[in-house]
């Protein structure tokens, strides 16, 4: 992951200011520069395509598969605006199960049914009227005890009631976590033919414009606050 952050410009942050006006600076990465390219580049949809991350694959492995080099893993992460790989990248099944077991081991504010097989929520099944019109979409989350009346037919007039028992399905805690994890597998990748331009554009955009606060093109100093100087 080091190369991911190495691509970002540095910021010398005035972390300590003395009464004489001199400051101690801490070198940090300027994360606020990283989204500008993504917003601009994604206007050109033909540069990207959908990709499903295989089980057990890392950003480096995806970069090797697509760009023939693991060093471009930062491009994979940047395009998908993933900063925290631990949270933003899909976990292996075994890791996901272990974390889920810990999460649902005891009752929490998220669910009163602990354990992997405990009920997380109910979801509706698709239902139609006698003419084939969808009157209830599938996948809507509902609370226990939910019911809803609907008109099954107009001639003759027939009214029916949807219920949890007959028109919903139970989603377990682990099913829910698997869904969230699988959603992270669906990402966008930059087409290899655009890689060189992407990297150049990123370096141009993240470099600072010339100004008096620069140490060099990739390093900027924060100005010393004249008010705080006298604290």
pLDDT, tens digit (0-9, with 9 covering 90-100), for 124-140: 999 999 999 999 999 99
Residue ranges per structural domain of the chain? 2-90+184-230, 95-179
Residue 44, burial from CB neighbour count under 10 angstroms (0-12, 13-18, 19+)? exposed
Pairing of strands 127-128, 134-136: antiparallel
> Can you tell me which residue has the tokens 């009464």?
19
pLDDT on residue 19: 54
Please, what is the end-to-end C-alpha distance for the chain in angstroms?
A: 39
Residue 202: strand, helix, or coil: helix
Residue 33: strand, helix, or coil: helix
Interval 120-124 mean pLDDT: 95
The residue with greater pLDDT, 12 or 107, is: 107
């Amino acid at each position: 992951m080091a190369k991911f952050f190495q691509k970002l410009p540095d910021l010398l942050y005035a972390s300590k200011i003395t009464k004489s006006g001199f400051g101690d600076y801490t070198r940090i990465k300027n994360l606020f520069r990283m989204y500008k390219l993504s917003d601009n580049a994604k206007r050109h949809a033909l540069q990207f395509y959908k990709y499903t991350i295989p089980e057990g694959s890392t950003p480096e492995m995806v970069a090797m598969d697509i760009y023939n080099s693991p060093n471009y893993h930062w491009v994979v992460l940047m395009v998908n605006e993933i900063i925290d790989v631990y949270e933003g990248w899909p976990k292996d099944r075994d890791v996901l199960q272990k974390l889920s077991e810990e999460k649902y081991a005891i009752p929490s504010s998220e669910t009163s049914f602990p354990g992997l097989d405990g009920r997380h929520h109910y979801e509706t099944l698709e239902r139609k009227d006698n003419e084939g019109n969808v009157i209830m979409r599938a996948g809507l989350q509902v609370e226990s005890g939910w019911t809803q009346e609907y008109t099954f037919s107009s001639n003759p007039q027939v009214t029916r009631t949807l219920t949890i028992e007959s028109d919903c399905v139970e989603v377990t805690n682990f099913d829910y976590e698997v869904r969230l994890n699988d959603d992270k597998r669906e990402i966008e990748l930059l087409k290899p033919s655009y890689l060189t331009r992407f990297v150049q554009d990123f370096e141009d955009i993240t470099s600072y414009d010339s100004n008096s606060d620069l140490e060099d093109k990739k390093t900027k100093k924060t100005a010393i606050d004249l008010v705080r100087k006298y604290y």
